[in-house]
Amino acid sequence: MKEEIAIKAKNISKTFHISEDSHNTVKHRLFNLFNPPRRKEVKAVKMLSIDIKKGECIGLLGRNGSGKSTLVKVLAGVYPTDSGYVNINGTTMLMNLGVGMSQELTARENIYVSGSVLGLKIKEIDALFEEIVSFAELEEFIDTKVKFFSSGMMARLGFSIAVNAGADIMFLDEIFAVGDMKFQEKAIKVFESSWIEGRTVILVSHSMDTIRQYCSRAAYMDHGELKFFGDTEKAIEMYTADNH
């Protein structure tokens, strides 16, 4: 039986153009009207192809600045690609400290918006609402705009929506690195429950224990390039060697 592909990315790349001009004052700009600021190119993801099977839990490793978070955002559709294409088979949810949350909306409103994006009807979100709020431990802040939330609160809300609303494909960017120990334990319990079965998970983490425990395969990135994708231990070995 042919295995179903959840994510297929072919020859994708992403470059950012960043201003090198640090003197960003009105006076400086007035005196340099005819000297536009120099811009440098940062090739965050370089010509990369990857296939992820349905139901796999994939680890994504690399040092800070290696392009992991950019790749996740491209795969999740947050950033458009400069080249190539990404095919997604299923509903997706990205958890990266509140990416996809509207800062001007309250937690309550964001639950409904995110649930709708995941394809749920209002009645279905109504039925899940208390569970989402309770799991995220945000009862007191449910009508607070999320722009006032700490990164930990934002992560708890995002994780809770995804867990309870049921995205097919989940991108978890350092989800175990935020929030308190109690919530991290909760998140780990989710991974150890049957909830994860059948779902596709891309897990970005600096915790080798987490990657080792949950990931069937792992990808190792360096300077925007996918250096390796396959055996989890081999990817960890490459990452560890790069950090010494």
Query: With 80 as the cut, is the pLDDT of residue 51 above it?
Result: yes
Whose tokens are 């991290």? That residue is: 184
In angstroms, the CA 108 to CA 133 distance is: 9
154-195 pLDDT, tens digit per residue, is 878 888 887 887 778 888 877 766 667 788 788 778 777 766
Query: How does residue 30 score in pLDDT terms, banded at 50, 70 and 90?
Result: low
Query: How does residue 36 score in pLDDT terms, banded at 50, 70 and 90?
Result: low
Reported as half-sphere exposure (CB side, CA atoms, 13 A), residue 12 has a value of: 27
Look at residue 93 in the predicted model and tell me its pLDDT: 72
Query: With 70 as the cut, is the pLDDT of residue 24 above it?
Result: no
Query: With 90 as the cut, is the pLDDT of residue 53 above it?
Result: yes
100-143 pLDDT, tens digit per residue, is 678 899 999 999 998 887 788 999 999 999 999 999 899 999 99
DSSP string covering 88-108: E-S-EEEESTTTT--TTSBHH
Indicate the pTM of the whole model: 0.78
In angstroms, the CA 224 to CA 65 distance is: 8
Q: How far is CA 130 from the centre of its chain?
A: 25
Max Cα distance, the chain (Å): 67
Look at residue 11 in the predicted model and tell me its pLDDT: 97
11 vs 189, which has greater pLDDT?
A: 11
Q: Which two tokens stand for residue 94?
A: 């990205």
* Rounded average pLDDT over 40-48: 91
Look at residue 183 in the predicted model and tell me its pLDDT: 80
Q: Are 202 and 58 in contact (CB under 8 A)?
A: yes
CA distances (Å), origin 131, targets 14, 54, 125, 160: 38, 27, 10, 8
**Which domains does the chain carry?**
5-242 (3.40.50.300)
78-96 pLDDT, tens digit per residue, is 899 999 999 999 878 776 5
